[in-house]
């Protein structure tokens, strides 16, 4: 989108006037996940009006209308930007695939690349498959590739520490009173 300033400006105006603030979006996403519904639409506008306005518009027709407006470079490799950071490379690849944007730099913002709450849900789902669980809010709180990679790392570190603590707790709980007393005295 960087190559089309008028589209970017329109998108930004629409996001500010019709979009849902991040805090509200997070609360709605959380509620939607717990609702257990197969599909859910959240819109500040009357959704029937939105559908009527978009009649005939599909993701493919929109992309075709823009041409290569996002400046996509199919030969771009995230390893050129993050040669020593496989997690950042992974995040960048998922962003590239989901948002259709490349090249992506360290300061490129998720929203500036065309990201929104629906993309965030898809991106988090894809990244959780290869990097484990982390909070959905990480995308919104750290909206750059290195920021999200750091947030995933921090969550992994917390999880590992918790797993080790729980394993040690199970080991202690399995000790008899005599064994615990012996360990406390240092008699292994």
In the chain, pLDDT over 70 holds for what percent of residues?
A: 82
pLDDT tier, 90 (very low <50, low <70, confident <90, very high otherwise):
very high
Q: What are phi and psi of 151, to 5 degrees?
A: -65, -40
Q: What is residue 94's predicted lDDT score, i.e. its pLDDT?
A: 93
pLDDT tens digits for range 95-115? 988 888 888 999 999 988 888
The token pair that represents 18 in the structure block: 């019709």
Rounded alpha-carbon distances, angstroms, from residue 31 to 25, 36, 83, 127, 140: 10, 9, 38, 21, 17
pLDDT tens digits for range 53-63? 666 655 545 55
pLDDT tens digits for range 157-173? 887 776 777 777 788 88
Domain residue spans of the chain: 5-185
Q: What average pLDDT score do residues 67-84 get?
A: 71
Cα diameter, the chain? 77
Tell me the CATH architecture of domain 5-185.
Answer: Orthogonal Bundle (1.10)
pLDDT tens digits for range 114-158? 888 888 999 999 999 999 889 999 999 999 999 999 999 988 888
The token pair that represents 180 in the structure block: 């615990």
End-to-end CA distance of the chain: 64
pLDDT tier, 68 (very low <50, low <70, confident <90, very high otherwise):
very low
């Amino acid at each position: 989108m960087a190559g089309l300033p008028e589209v970017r400006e329109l998108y930004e105006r629409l996001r500010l006037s019709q979009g849902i603030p991040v805090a509200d979006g997070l609360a709605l996403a959380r509620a939607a996940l717990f609702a257990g519904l197969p599909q859910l639409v959240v819109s500040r506008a009357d959704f029937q009006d939105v559908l009527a306005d978009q009649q005939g518009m599909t993701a493919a027709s929109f992309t075709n209308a823009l041409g290569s407006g996002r400046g996509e470079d199919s030969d771009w490799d995230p390893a050129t930007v993050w040669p020593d950071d496989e997690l950042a490379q992974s995040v960048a690849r998922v962003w590239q695939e989901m948002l259709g944007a490349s090249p992506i730099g360290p300061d490129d913002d998720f929203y500036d690349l065309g990201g929104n709450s629906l993309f965030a849900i898809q991106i988090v789902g894809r990244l959780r498959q290869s990097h484990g669980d982390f909070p959905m809010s990480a995308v919104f709180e750290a909206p750059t590739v290195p920021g999200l990679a750091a947030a995933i790392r921090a969550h992994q570190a917390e999880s590992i520490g918790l797993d080790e603590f729980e394993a040690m707790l199970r080991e202690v709980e399995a000790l008899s009173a005599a064994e615990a007393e012996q360990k406390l005295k240092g008699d292994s």
